[in-house]
């Protein structure tokens, strides 16, 4: 068999053996790692769901374009044809000022007040559906329309989507910071686990060095141990999130039905899951590497 | 095969353990290092295995300058040596078989071939029936034989033993010594440090006598 491969296989088996020989402490550190990872990963999962929710609600972003009071029917048809040709506009609807007043009269219960007005205070308006829901694109469309002649005011009806979006950005930043902090915690946990292992295996390490083991040979099982522990912690984090979703989904569905839409939390995508596992494996490896590097040199046979 | 020229070793803040020691051991020789405790026997053996570095002088083992070896090449030197330590260094968390298997795992033997070699080595020292036993259940003589099996399982060209009969009664001691002689007879270079003059088998053995770090014979 290939020497390199057999060395790695040996190290892997040894790491698994060590992991299973002390199941309780191993389990505890794995759970600690899992919980630490589940916080940022769970936050990321929530953010992803909120993002898809906001996209779902503001699926057809609308702008209201109010014309100047003195605009006539030629201005209206001119703007209508310009809107028809605009690439960002998917459809639009003209609301004449009279029908707007009529709507106000019926919808608000202010008919007495409206009747007492000597003239219609409302402008003619267009309600525009944009093609793109990206808040940046919408904003540039808004300012562009604003500059057209005889346009008094353009209002982005989905301004709240923009607010939600920046709120989500903030949330993303918070998750990132949490992930960074807890990554350090994970590295520290692994560092300590491996340190204890090295101390309890001092004799073995010393004898191995005396009979010709290279540093790589001694280091490898510890690195595998750290990586396996990190990976298992990642799996535990995934399970914790899955459990959280399972427990809250029914209640969420009830809540969402009150607002007449269908909403269920989705778990991380398979790509995100893979990233989570790879990242936790890598962190475990790093913690083990740091620990082995700083402790192994102290064990020199005498 | 082993060559010391003007080798001195001074431990930090301490006396000279060895002073200007020079000798050559040819391939296939059997040599005893004698002297009182503190004479520098262990230091001499440790220098050969690069466990200690000389303060001055050069040591050549199998054509390599041991004092100048870089960290990464020391393991390769040690894999060609069979070492029996004064304090035995048995691993008590595993059975006899696994103790002897360790050197072969380190030099990545094929597992099937390795277990054959381990059994052969255990058979040679008469421990084959105890391969599953924990070392703690073995007698002092058996533990020493376990150490010898671990030292020879790699079939080294040089076998080095530091006081291998140190805490054994004379019957066991002779038994152990005959074992070393049998390895010598199949061509292994054997180097044994001992303070026990009774073990020396007469004039045919070469002796390096140390007295307070100075080679007297």
Residues within 8 A of A (CB atoms), B 90-129 only = 91, 93, 102-103, 105-108, 110
Minimum Cα–Cα distance from A207: chain B residue: B89
Compute the distance between CA of residue A20 and CA of residue A38 in angstroms, rounded to an integer.
24
Say whether pLDDT at A114 is over 80: no
The verdict on a CB contact (< 8 Å) between A211 and B76 is no
Q: What are phi and psi of A87, to 5 degrees?
A: -70, -25
Of A203, A217, A302, nearest to B106 by CB-CB distance is A217
Question: Residue B194: exposed, middle, or buried by beta-carbon count in 10 A (0-12, 13-18, 19+)?
Answer: buried
Q: Confirm if B67 and B59 have CB atoms less than 8 A apart.
A: yes
Question: Residue A81: exposed, middle, or buried by beta-carbon count in 10 A (0-12, 13-18, 19+)?
Answer: exposed
The verdict on a CB contact (< 8 Å) between B91 and A204 is yes
Given pLDDT bands bounded at 50, 70 and 90, which one contains residue A79?
A: confident
Query: Is the model more confident about A236 or about B195?
Result: A236
Residues within 8 A of B (CB atoms), A 158-177 only = none
Contacts of B51 in chain A (CB under 8 A): 210, 301-302
Q: What is the DSSP string of A134-147?
A: -HHHHHHHHHHHHT
Of A206, A212, A214, nearest to B103 by CB-CB distance is A212
Residue A253 has a pLDDT of 83
A210 at B interface, C-beta within 8 A: yes
What stretches of chain B show up as alpha helix (H) in DSSP?
Answer: 41-48, 74-79, 96-106, 111-124, 140-152, 170-185
Residues within 8 A of A (CB atoms), B 16-45 only = none
Contacts of B78 in chain A (CB under 8 A): 210-212
Average pLDDT for A166-192: 92
The verdict on a CB contact (< 8 Å) between B89 and A208 is no
Minimum Cα–Cα distance from A297: chain B residue: B71
A60: tokens are 């057809």
Q: Confirm if A122 and A100 have CB atoms less than 8 A apart.
A: yes
Contacts of A207 in chain B (CB under 8 A): 89, 91, 102
Compute the distance between CA of residue A14 and CA of residue A12 in angstroms, rounded to an integer.
5
What does pLDDT average to over chain A? Answer: 85
A180-202 pLDDT, tens digit each: 999 999 999 999 999 999 998 99
Residue B116 has a pLDDT of 94
Closest approach of chain B CAs to the CA of A283, in angstroms?
Answer: 27
Q: Confirm if B108 and A3 have CB atoms less than 8 A apart.
A: yes
The verdict on a CB contact (< 8 Å) between A212 and B105 is no
What does pLDDT average to over chain B? Answer: 90
The verdict on a CB contact (< 8 Å) between A207 and B71 is no
Q: Which residues pair with B56 in a beta bridge?
A: B8
Average pLDDT for B131-142: 92
The verdict on a CB contact (< 8 Å) between B78 and A211 is yes
Contacts of A10 in chain B (CB under 8 A): 105, 108
**Cβ-proximal residues to B192 (8 Å cutoff; 6+ apart), any chain:** B30, B31, B32, B33, B160, B161, B164, B180
Of A206, A209, A212, nearest to B107 by CB-CB distance is A212
Compute the distance between CA of residue A101 and CA of residue A105 in angstroms, rounded to an integer.
6
**Cβ-proximal residues to B110 (8 Å cutoff; 6+ apart), any chain:** A1, A6
**Cβ-proximal residues to B85 (8 Å cutoff; 6+ apart), any chain:** A210, B147, B162
State whether the Cα torsion B120-B122-B126-B132 is positive or negative: negative
Q: Confirm if A162 and A135 have CB atoms less than 8 A apart.
A: yes
Q: Which of B14, B104, B106, B112 to mutate to test the interface with A (most CBs of A within 10 A)?
A: B106
Residue A167 has a pLDDT of 86
This prediction has a pTM of 0.75
A2-41 pLDDT, tens digit each: 777 878 888 898 889 888 888 888 899 999 999 999 999 9
Q: What Å distances lie between residue A248 and A33, A243, A267, B156, CA to CA?
A: 23, 9, 12, 66
Contacts of B156 in chain A (CB under 8 A): none
Which H or E run contains B60?
Answer: strand B56-61
A263: tokens are 């909403």
Q: Confirm if A210 and B75 have CB atoms less than 8 A apart.
A: no
A38: tokens are 């589940």
A84-98 pLDDT, tens digit each: 888 888 888 888 888
Q: What is the DSSP string of B3-30?
A: EEEEEEEE-TTS-EEEEEEEEEE-TT-E
Of A3, A207, A208, nearest to B108 by CB-CB distance is A3
The verdict on a CB contact (< 8 Å) between B108 and A206 is no
Given pLDDT bands bounded at 50, 70 and 90, which one contains residue B162?
A: very high
């Amino acid at each position: 068999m290939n020497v390199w491969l057999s060395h790695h296989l040996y190290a892997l088996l040894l790491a698994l053996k060590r992991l299973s020989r002390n199941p309780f402490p191993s389990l505890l550190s794995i759970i600690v790692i899992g919980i630490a990872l589940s916080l940022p990963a769970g936050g990321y999962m929530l953010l992803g769901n909120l993002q898809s929710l906001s996209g779902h609600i503001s699926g057809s972003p609308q702008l209201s374009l109010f014309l100047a009071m003195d605009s006539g029917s030629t201005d209206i048809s001119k703007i209508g044809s310009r809107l028809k040709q605009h690439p960002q506009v998917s459809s639009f609807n003209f609301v004449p000022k009279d029908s707007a007043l009529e709507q106000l009269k019926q919808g608000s219960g202010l008919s007495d007040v409206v009747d007492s007005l000597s003239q219609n205070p409302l402008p003619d308006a267009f309600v525009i559906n944009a093609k793109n829901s990206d808040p940046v694109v919408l904003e540039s469309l808004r300012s562009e329309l604003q500059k057209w002649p005889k346009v008094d005011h353009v209002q982005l009806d989905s301004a709240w989507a923009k607010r939600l979006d920046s709120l989500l950005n903030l949330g993303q930043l918070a998750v990132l910071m949490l992930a960074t902090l807890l990554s350090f915690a994970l590295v520290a946990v692994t560092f300590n686990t491996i340190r204890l292992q090295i101390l309890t295996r001092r004799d073995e390490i010393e004898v191995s060095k005396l009979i010709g083991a290279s540093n790589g040979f001694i280091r490898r099982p510890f690195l595998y141990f750290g990586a396996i522990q990190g990976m298992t912690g990642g799996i535990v984090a995934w399970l914790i999130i899955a459990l959280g979703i399972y427990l809250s989904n029914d209640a969420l569905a009830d809540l969402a039905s009150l607002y007449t839409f269908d909403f269920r939390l989705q778990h991380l995508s398979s790509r995100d899951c893979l990233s989570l596992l790879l990242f936790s494996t890598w962190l475990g490896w790093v913690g083990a590497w740091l620990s082995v590097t700083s402790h192994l040199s102290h064990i020199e046979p005498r | 095969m082993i060559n010391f020229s003007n080798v001195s070793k001074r431990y930090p803040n301490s006396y000279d353990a060895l002073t200007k020691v020079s000798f050559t051991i040819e391939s296939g020789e059997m040599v005893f290092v004698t002297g009182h405790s503190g004479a520098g026997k262990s230091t001499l053996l440790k220098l050969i295995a690069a466990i200690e570095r000389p303060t001055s002088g050069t040591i050549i083992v199998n054509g390599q300058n041991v004092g100048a070896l870089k960290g990464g090449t020391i393991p390769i030197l040690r894999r060609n040596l069979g070492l029996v330590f004064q304090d035995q260094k048995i691993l008590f968390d595993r059975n006899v078989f696994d103790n002897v298997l360790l050197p072969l795992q380190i030099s990545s033997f094929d597992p099937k071939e390795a277990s054959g070699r381990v059994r052969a080595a255990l058979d040679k020292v008469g421990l084959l029936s105890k391969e599953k036993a924990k070392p703690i259940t073995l007698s002092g003589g058996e533990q020493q034989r376990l150490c010898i099996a671990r030292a020879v399982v790699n079939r080294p060209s040089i076998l080095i033993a530091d006081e291998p009969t140190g805490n054994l009664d004379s019957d066991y001691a002779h038994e152990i010594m005959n074992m070393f002689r049998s390895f010598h007879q199949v061509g292994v270079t054997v180097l044994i440090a001992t303070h026990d003059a009774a073990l020396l088998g007469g004039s045919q053995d070469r002796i390096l006598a140390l007295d307070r770090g100075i080679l007297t014979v």
